[in-house]
Amino acid sequence: MAGVDKCILCGKCRADSALLRVTGKEMLTARGKALLIMKGILDKVFYIDPLNDVTVRSCPTNVEISEEVRKQRERLVENGIETKANRRMIDNIREFGNPYGSLEKKDIKEVYS
């Protein structure tokens, strides 16, 4: 598997991007994220990713975009940039030992990945 420096911006990963099909946003494809990383742009968009390796299948240079996204998430956290859902999930794990909070409520409305 290769790092984002091996991305040749060919766009083949667009065909496998469910996020692109649903949202129409190029930024959510592996190529879009690779471009952000190459330009040094740290954006919450890196939290919008299923972290699966579907796009790797079509990538001619075997860019492992999920690993690159994980690294960007680490940078986001190090810079104090997080989502409300992430903060809630972390607080719930610390307080209740699971990401959903009190299981006695039985009204789980959010699922985290």
Which of residues 13 and 28 has its CB atom nearest to ligand SF4 in the complex? 13
**Best CA proximity match to 19, nearest among 32, 8, 10, 2:** 32
Least separation in angstroms between residue 4's CB and ligand SF4 is 8
Which of residues 45 and 89 has its CB atom nearest to ligand SF4 in the complex? 45
Which of residues 31 and 73 has its CB atom nearest to ligand SF4 in the complex? 31
Alpha-carbon distance of 87 to 80, in angstroms, equals: 11
Are 47 and 73 a contacting pair, CB within 8 Å? yes
Least separation in angstroms between residue 65's CB and ligand SF4 is 6
